[in-house]
Amino acid sequence: MKKALFLLTILTCFFNCTVNETPEFIGVNTIEVEDSNSKFITLKAEAEFLNPNDIGGTLKTDDLKVIINNNEISSVTTESFDVPAKDKFTIPLRAKIPTDSLFSDKNLSSLLGSLLTKNMKVQYVGDIDYKIMGFTHKYHVDVIDNVKIKL
């Protein structure tokens, strides 16, 4: 009798919870320079989602590429992020870029243009993975923004 009651409780919870949709990828907020010093420039953006389900899951980014002035410079990797149930949320997308990679030979012409205009074209390209109970869904990210640089 206890086993039947336990099974009935689990089935009731399972059928009353909505898990039929993946979280909605709303977009990536503005890319901006969070910090800069002589060794690194830290870029920050936030990916915004809406989860309509009664249970969460996890989101993870692996090798989200950062392209500055049409040159691949760095990548964004994050630890797994717990998705809240029935909520709108953001995950941080930070890239720590060594300044010496900006001053490489292949970047000198685009860097000179950036210094004159005080802007650099930053692009995030790659996938964010959503995982829940063995199910995986990929969200493709491809966002370009002009980032103001301070001299």
pTM, two decimals, is 0.73
The Cα-based distances of 95 to 5, 22, 44, 104, 111 in angstroms read 51, 26, 7, 18, 18
Are the beta carbons of 45 and 31 closer than 8 angstroms? yes
2 in any annotated domain: no
DSSP per-residue letters across 75-144: EE----EEEPTTEEEEEEEEEEEEHHHHTSGGGHHHHHHHHHHTEEEEEEEEEEEEEETTEEEEEEEEEE
> What CATH number is attached to the domain comprising 124?
2.60.40.10
Share of the chain above pLDDT 70, in %: 74
11 in any annotated domain: no
9 in any annotated domain: no
103 in any annotated domain: yes
Question: What does the mean pLDDT of the chain come to?
Answer: 78
8 in any annotated domain: no
- Domain count of the chain? 1
70 in any annotated domain: yes
Q: What is the pLDDT of residues 109-141, one digit of tens each?
A: 555 555 555 778 889 999 999 888 788 889 999
140 in any annotated domain: yes
Residue 105 is encoded by which pair of tokens?
């030979």
75 in any annotated domain: yes
Higher pLDDT pick, 115 / 51: 51
Per the structure, the complete domain to which residue 111 belongs is given by 21-148
Residue 54: the pLDDT is: 84
Half-sphere exposure of 41 (CA within 13 A, CB side): 22
